[in-house]
Structure 1
Amino acid sequence: MKMPGATARLLVSLRGRTMRSVATLLAGAAAGQLITLITVPLLTRIFSPAVFGEAGTLLAAASVVMPVAGFCLPLAIVLATDDDEARALGRASLSISVLLAAVMAFGIVFWSSLSDAPWGMSSGLLMFIPLLMCLATAVSVLEQWAHRRSCYTASAKVSVGKSLIGNGGKVLGGLMAPVSMTLVFMTAVAEAVAAMLYLGWLRGSVTPDRTTPLKWWALVVKYRQFPLFRAPQVLVSCLSLAVPVLLLGAWYEPAIVGFFVLARSVVAAPSMLLGKAIGDVIYPRLARAAQDGLPLLPLQLKAVTLLGVVGLLPLIPILLAAPLIFGLLFGEPWQMAGEHARWMALWFYFTLVGVPCISSMPVLQVQRLHLTYTCFTAVIRVGLMYWACAIAQLASSTSVALYCISGALLNAGLMVWILLLSAHRDRLMA
């Protein structure tokens, strides 16, 4: 156990490296998000709200399974004891995702044989879901390997390349075929481009894994908290994000889904920009601090305070004038998306501020409790929205408001809970 002086020295030594790493990831993510924000006004004038809604429904369904296709084992790559173990974890993650994607593809074919258009979509469109599962797992494995090797510049470059190809392809493709297939296809292309870019920039450090499937299984057992607790938690969390899109599509017209999807994609941009950069950097730092027996709370509070202040910059203008802003940027038909954006801004603010706390949960080894909390919050939020849409039949803006306000309050509660757990852990380690 190191003394407080060692803790201070570690924080000082990490400060420069951490800020440089955050700045690198932030620059790449900012450039990627800037490209997205520039192209969105073009896309809203090429694609109708109904087309946005149809593509958003499919991508919402895909987003449920994409993060868990590898059972969240890619997240363990940073924690692996050596590079051989990290490579084996990556190989196991990819193998699991391919197996699950094959099962998903078979299910889609079988479902399509019973119904001409499940969810109102062709089987060809639905087959993008297993493809996206495999691509997302590959990107996640390579991304975590890059973070393990502190190759944050590669991640920044990938963010720019992925956004440029994906959004540029949507604009050019939309000019030729302004249909939902174009939006979905270019989403898959962007994931494939991200994987290829990672392989290109990491080619010197990514070598083939020569371990046997038996070793993979041993690693799955060793890091069982990820498939047993983290994967279900992520699955439930993604369901709570996707179900509102599906509910809105079931009880309101497709254009309402388009408004919701646009509002969420625009409002989430600052949160994703800062949150991912901070989370990707602070997660390895917290893991190292825990391995060295150092307190976690100082690192968490520093990051939470920074995000709390910076997050106010996009929050205030969205709360005050979102409908006007959306009408000017995306065209008058999209003003309703601004009404949704007001409430989403509050929700994503607390999501952003809580990123350092969420990143510390694997380090604190409380993923089982995280799963329980996520299930609890998902039931509350989805239940509220189902009541608003199906039972009370409230206006779509009211249904969205209930969903977002409940998310903000629950995220704030989770953040406080994790900080208290860290404070308790630090007292025990003192």
Structure 2
Amino acid sequence: MAANAILFLGIYLLSRLISPAEFGRYSAFQAMVLAVYPLLTLRYEYAIPVARSDGSARALLTLSLLLSVSATAVLSVGVLVLRGCCLPVEWISPAVAELIPLMGFAAVSASLASIFQLAAVRTGALRAMGVGRVLRAVCMTVGQVALALIVARGASSLIVGELVANLVLAAILAWASARYLPKLSVALQGRNIGKLWAAAKRFRAFALVSVPHAVSHQALVAIQGVAIGVLYGPTAMGHYFLMRKVLFSTIGLVSTALYQVCFSEASKTKGNHARLRELWTYSASLLAIVTIPIAVMLLFLGEQIFALLFGTEWASAGSLAAAAFPIIIMEPIAAAMAFMPAFLKRQPAAFGWSLTQNIVGIGSVWVIFLAGGRIEQAILGSSLAVAAVMLAYVVWLRAASAPSATQMAATQ
């Protein structure tokens, strides 16, 4: 909670220093990094907390670190090769173009932070993880503001500030989880390489299921933002990304905590569909209590609220938030079901729904642009289309979670 409050304060300060166009370029860079960094470790770090033995956990930690470092080299070469032919020159600034080779390092810093957070969960270093997140938020806010004031008021300052903050978090959590970090020379011995390979095969489901879902979702979010930049300009892209960051970070603050509670409770149900439905109703109700008032307030006062918080230059982000009203209403209902596909064994289908949702959102923006619509109309059309897919997903998942006749008889 404290870390998110500090980051929100950082957004408030940076909105006074950075133009919407530069914030859009930074956010597009950040979104692309989030899209590629799951490929660095193939999500093997997510198996660290659930490994049955400490030996398996250490093998997964070492495997994740080795994959992350080696993939960074490949990614850095790849972005250098593709920089000149695959990036739209309409929205990328010269300063950001110079930092494109840093994309690999930005991805590995995010990857290391993720790896050591999960190692901290395994070792029980939860206090260190909480302190580390707060220090990351402080370091990121202070670093970005200082660089914007001293070096350049542009996207490059924000990119470098976040990269350094992620490395600080990774270093703190690596220290807290030191007993799980074997020496690299020991890890690379023949016997231990065999353990790494065995761990990779045993937990390959994380690579086969989680990676496509994470990459496709983040990539499509990045593509939608970049598409808005290409179609409507970098300033509109900045307004769009600020709206998403403020709005969905607020919703995510509540939904993430609820997801953790519901996942823990669902693991005790042993396939009881009726109990899963009860958990969904409970979490959806709590999320709706938080998000519906926000949605109604932004619908009528979006521009005024954003202008008051971030300055008149950002008022248009408030109008985009008002246009996103349908998805703000549906988001808590769909987000509350995030824990259910794993227990219903419907992850591939849930991945298909997520992919459909993002493709429909991007397609709607393009269609409305080609029809001559304004950015607000594009966001409204996209929100309506995505909300319709979310509604269909909720109906499908409710049907899939209907208690069987045996469960109903047992309940009675």
TM-score between the two structures when normalised by the length of structure 2: 0.85
| Letter of the 1:132 counterpart | A
Distance 1:310 1:233 in 2: 27
The structural deviation recorded for 1:120 is: 5.1
C-alpha RMSD of the superposition? 3.1
2:118 maps to which residue? 144
The structural deviation recorded for 1:362 is: 3.3
Structure 1 residues 414 and 101, CA gap change in structure 2 (3 angstroms): farther
| Letter of the 1:368 counterpart | P
Q: What aligned pairs does 1:275-294 form with structure 2 within 5 A after superposition?
A: 275-287=255-267, 289-290=269-270
Distance 1:96 1:424 in 2: 42
Distance 2:86 2:400 in 1: 49
The CA deviation string for residues 307-361 of structure 1, in whole angstroms up to 9 with x for no partner, is 2223334333222211001111111121111011123454245334433422343
Distance 1:276 1:147 in 2: 16
**1:245 has 2:221 as partner:** no
2:347 maps to which residue? 367
- Number of aligned residue pairs: give it: 399
Is the Cα–Cα contact under 8 Å of residues 289 and 295 in structure 1 kept in the other structure? yes
Distance 1:394 1:332 in 2: 23
The CA deviation string for residues 68-105 of structure 1, in whole angstroms up to 9 with x for no partner, is 43222233333322332233223223322323222111
| Letter of the 2:235 counterpart | A
| Letter of the 1:137 counterpart | S
| Letter of the 1:408 counterpart | A
Q: Percent identity?
A: 23
Match of 1:94 among 40, 55, 65: 65
Distance 1:36 1:247 in 2: 26
Distance 1:426 1:308 in 2: 31
Match of 1:309 among 285, 289, 292: 289
SS at match of 1:141: helix
The structural deviation recorded for 1:260 is: 1.0
1:158 maps to which residue? 132
Structure 1 residues 54 and 95, CA gap change in structure 2 (3 angstroms): same
1:386 maps to which residue? 366
Match of 1:191 among 154, 163, 166: 166
Is the Cα–Cα contact under 8 Å of residues 69 and 97 in structure 1 kept in the other structure? yes
| Letter of the 1:206 counterpart | Y
Distance 1:305 1:150 in 2: 31
Distance 1:405 1:153 in 2: 42
1:135 maps to which residue? 109
The CA deviation string for residues 138-197 of structure 1, in whole angstroms up to 9 with x for no partner, is 222222333445654444333322211111221121111212110111111221122123
- State which drifts further: 66-75 or 116-125: 116-125
1:409 maps to which residue? 388
Distance 2:121 2:271 in 1: 17
1:56 maps to which residue? 27
1:16 maps to which residue? none
Match of 1:168 among 118, 142, 151: 142
Structure 1 residues 159 and 304, CA gap change in structure 2 (3 angstroms): farther
2:318 maps to which residue? 338
The structural deviation recorded for 1:232 is: 0.8
The CA deviation string for residues 44-89 of structure 1, in whole angstroms up to 9 with x for no partner, is 1211112112212222222211244322223333332233223322
Distance 1:298 1:426 in 2: 18
Distance 2:197 2:272 in 1: 28
2:357 maps to which residue? 377
Is the Cα–Cα contact under 8 Å of residues 225 and 240 in structure 2 kept in the other structure? yes
Distance 1:116 1:263 in 2: 23
Structure 1 residues 98 and 285, CA gap change in structure 2 (3 angstroms): farther
**1:84 has 2:61 as partner:** no
Distance 1:315 1:117 in 2: 33
Distance 1:103 1:275 in 2: 35
Is the Cα–Cα contact under 8 Å of residues 54 and 180 in structure 1 kept in the other structure? yes
Distance 2:272 2:195 in 1: 27
TM-score between the two structures when normalised by the length of structure 1: 0.82
Is the Cα–Cα contact under 8 Å of residues 295 and 426 in structure 1 kept in the other structure? no
- State which drifts further: 63-72 or 148-157: 148-157
Distance 1:134 1:427 in 2: 49
